[in-house]
Amino acid sequence: MRVIAIDGPAGSGKSTVAKALAARLNLDYLDTGAMYRAVAFAAIQKQIRPSEIEEITEIAKSLDLELTEESCVVNGVDATTEIRGPEVTSLVSQVATMPEVRIEMVKRQRAWAETRNGGVMEGRDIGSVVFPDAMLKIYLTASEEVRAARRAAEVKEGDVAIVAADIERRDAVDTQRAASPLVEAEDAIVVDTSAMTLQQVVDHVIGLIP
Ligand code: DC
């Protein structure tokens, strides 16, 4: 199976790089962060509080999710825009700390790759947990300033300081949680994209494929 794992913190360029890589290599692409966002979206729709872990776990298990590169439909509702919105973004890292939710998402992620015999998968724990035998593991990173500026441009939120604070908060939750925290897999290749263009990153990563 040809799995390329792209992990790293928020704003490191994972999505842009992973999508471009998938297109260049003619592989399918999976945004695993969108899966956790979909669970958060469904919880908000059902007006479930973040403390209701059992209910959120049930939501994850029964989630009807249609995720493509362009769209995200959750339990029959188009959530493409909402999963990137502030409400979902503020809840998602908490949802991603829930071990039972992670077990369900990881199961789905493995099934996704198995039916395609691989693909480019982006997330936080792809190389460390989901596919420890991935063909290539990349840990993308960038300076805090660059990551905040990129996210601010992406969400068209003018205030870089607010975005920077949110990224810092999410990084802290993602790296400090007990269940599959964001870590560099031992055999991951770290790529600092701070001073690189997308083209340079993609060319570099393609050059690393064994
Ligand atoms: O990449 P993103 O910002 O869309 O991720 C949303 C959240 O989900 C973020 O808090 C980290 C978490 N996540 C995770 O825990 N494991 C993954 N494989 C992908 C994302």
* 56-84 pLDDT, tens digit each: 999 999 999 999 999 999 999 999 999 99
| Exposure string over 191-210, b if 16+ CB within 10 A, otherwise e | bebeebeeeebbeebeeeee
What's the pTM value of the predicted model, to 2 decimals? Answer: 0.94
Calpha distance 138→146 (Å, rounded): 19
Atom of ligand 1 nearest to the CA of 125: 18
Check: CB of residue 111 under 8 Å from CB of residue 3.
Answer: no
Q: Which atom of ligand 1 is nearest to the CA of 126?
A: 18
Q: With both helix axes pointing from N to C terminus, report the angle between 86-95 and 32-45 in degrees, rounded to the nearest 10.
A: 110
- What pLDDT, on a 0 to 100 scale, did the predictor assign at position 157? 60
CA of residue 132 to ligand 1 center, whole Å: 18
Does residue 158 have a pLDDT over 70?
Answer: no
Kindly list the protein residues whose Cβ atom lies closer than 6 A to any atom of ligand 1: 10, 32-33, 36-37, 92-93, 96, 123-125, 170, 174
Region 110-121: mean pLDDT is 98
Mean pLDDT across the chain: 95
